[in-house]
């Protein structure tokens, strides 16, 4: 009887270990990263004020003469009616807007269940096929690589995350949004720090790897070390 009892205990411990391993594995594969930042409504150039220059950008966008990323459209929609229109430009021209909003979302989490899986991928594929419509907020979520465009690259990246090929999405320091951290990401951050390239607000969050609120050559060095496997 003692022999059977010992075997039972070992079996029970093994089952508990497997269950715990499965739970921790599930948690690891469903890691997500929230993008969030504050912006003043109508402040298109991010200088902290709303002026005639911002109004011109909004007016041009309202008549399809200027392309805005999804996050820019969210900022330009001053009257919060879901579209960028001449009324928004009129409000911006007055230049008295002080309203700040927090942009907050998890890239890829289209069904808002705080995890990324095949149900999110199905929604994205339906959108790309024209079977689903997204509002501005959902379009920002669907732009998984944060490049301002929703296309097959986002679908591929979301599939890799759903299949647990990617640990967290978006990866901290992955400016190109291809699922890996490389020297190219470090170069982009370095170029941004000297004002040679522009980054979307979401990319800026991803680029600030040392989380000091600034994007400098220090961030570029950290990303380069991570790309080389030194950090």
Q: Domain coordinates of the chain in residue numbers?
A: 34-105
pTM value is 0.64
pLDDT at 187: 94
H or E element that contains 37: strand 35-40
pLDDT tens column, 131-163: 999 887 888 899 888 887 899 989 998 998 888
Report residue 91 as tokens. 């409000």
Q: Label residue 8 left, alpha or beta by phi (over 0 means left) and psi (-120 to 50 means alpha).
A: alpha
Could you give the CA distance from residue 171 to residue 206 in angstroms, rounded to a whole number? 7
pLDDT at 8: 57
Position with higher pLDDT, 36 vs 63: 63
Does CATH number 1.20.20.10 belong to domain 34-105? no
Mean pLDDT, range 175-195, rounded to an integer: 89
Position with higher pLDDT, 217 vs 199: 217
3-state SS assignment for residue 63: coil
pLDDT tens column, 7-33: 555 555 555 444 444 433 333 445 677
Count Cβ atoms below 10 Å from residue 27 Cβ, excluding itself. 10
3-state SS assignment for residue 128: helix
pLDDT tens column, 88-134: 999 999 887 778 877 788 889 999 898 889 999 999 999 999 999 98
Q: Is the dihedral of CA 214, 183, 140, 117 positive or negative?
A: negative
């Amino acid at each position: 009887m003692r022999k059977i009892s010992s075997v039972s205990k070992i079996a029970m411990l093994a089952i508990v270990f497997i269950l715990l391993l499965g739970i921790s594995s599930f948690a690891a594969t469903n890691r997500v990263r929230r993008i969030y930042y504050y912006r003043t409504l109508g402040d298109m150039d991010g200088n902290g004020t709303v002026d005639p220059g911002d109004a011109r950008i909004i007016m041009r966008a309202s008549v399809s003469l200027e392309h805005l990323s999804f996050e820019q459209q969210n900022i330009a929609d001053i009257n919060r009616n879901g579209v960028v229109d001449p009324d928004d430009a009129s409000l911006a021209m007055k230049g008295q807007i002080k309203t700040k909003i927090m942009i907050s979302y998890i890239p890829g989490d289209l069904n808002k269940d705080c995890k990324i899986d095949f149900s999110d991928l199905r929604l994205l594929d339906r959108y790309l096929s024209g079977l689903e419509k997204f509002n501005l907020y959902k379009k920002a979520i669907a732009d998984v690589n944060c490049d301002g465009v929703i296309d097959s690259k986002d679908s591929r990246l979301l599939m890799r995350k759903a299949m647990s090929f990617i640990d967290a999405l978006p990866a901290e320091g992955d400016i190109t949004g291809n699922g890996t951290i490389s020297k190219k990401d470090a170069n982009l951050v370095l170029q941004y720090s000297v004002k040679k390239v522009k980054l979307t607000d979401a990319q800026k969050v991803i680029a600030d790897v040392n989380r000091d609120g600034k994007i400098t050559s220090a961030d570029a060095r950290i990303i380069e070390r991570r790309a080389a496997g030194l950090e």
